[in-house]
Amino acid sequence: MNKQERKQQAGFALAEVLIFAAGMALLGLVAVPSAMQFYREAAIEYEAEHLLSDLRQTQSLNRLIEGANHGFYVRDGVVKKAVIEIRSEEYCVTVSSSKAETCMFHHYLPLVRVSRQWNGTNVDSGPITFKDNGELKNVGLGMMTLLIRCEGWPQEGRKIMISKAGRIRMERVSW
C-alpha cells in the first residue's frame, strides 16, 4: 500500500469516527431528557409513597400509644409519643418514652424536595403529631398539604393531604 492510499484510508476512518460521534450525540439529545423524566417520575413516586407510609405508621403508633396512656394496655406507666418532623431534604420519625428515644431519618433522593402548607400558606417548622383517634394534634384551620417535587421542575409532583380529622390521601398533580 502506497502513501496516497494510506492517506485516503485515514481520511475515511476520520469521517467514520465523526459520523459515529454525531450519531451518538443525536442519540444523547433524545435519550437524556427521557431518562431524566423517567427518574423524576420514579423518584417523586417513591418518596411520596415512602412518606405516606411513614405518616400512616406514625398515626397508627399514636393511636396505640394514646390508648395506652388512657388506661388501655398500661405497662410500667411509660408515657410515649410518636412524631414526624418534615424538612425540605429529609424527615425524621421519632418515637419516645420516658426511658428512651428512637429516631429514624429518611433522606430524599437527589433533586427531590418536600414542602409543607396549611391552607395554601408555606409552613416549615414543627412536628406532625396525631391524637388517639387519628386526628391531627397540631392542627391549624383546615388541611395540611405536603408537596413533593423535583428541584427545577416545580410543575410536576405529588400532594399528600392530611385533613383536620386525620384522613391522609395522596394525589398526582401538575401545576
What tens-digit pLDDT sequence spans the chain (175 residues)? 677 666 666 667 777 888 999 988 888 888 888 888 899 999 999 999 999 999 999 888 888 776 655 554 545 556 578 889 988 889 999 988 777 888 899 999 999 999 888 766 677 667 888 887 888 876 666 788 899 999 888 788 999 999 888 899 999 886 6
User: Whole-prediction pTM value?
Assistant: 0.76
Residue 58, domain extent: 3-174
What is the grid cell recorded at 8?
A: 485516503
Burial of 110 (0-12, 13-18, 19+ CB in 10 A): exposed
CB 149 within 8 A of CB 122: no
CATH number at 24 reads 3.55.40.10
**Total of domains in the chain:** 1
The residues near 43 (Cβ < 8 Å, ≥ 6 apart) are: 109, 110, 111, 112, 150
Question: Which of 29, 36, 35 has the alpha carbon at shortest distance from 152?
Answer: 36
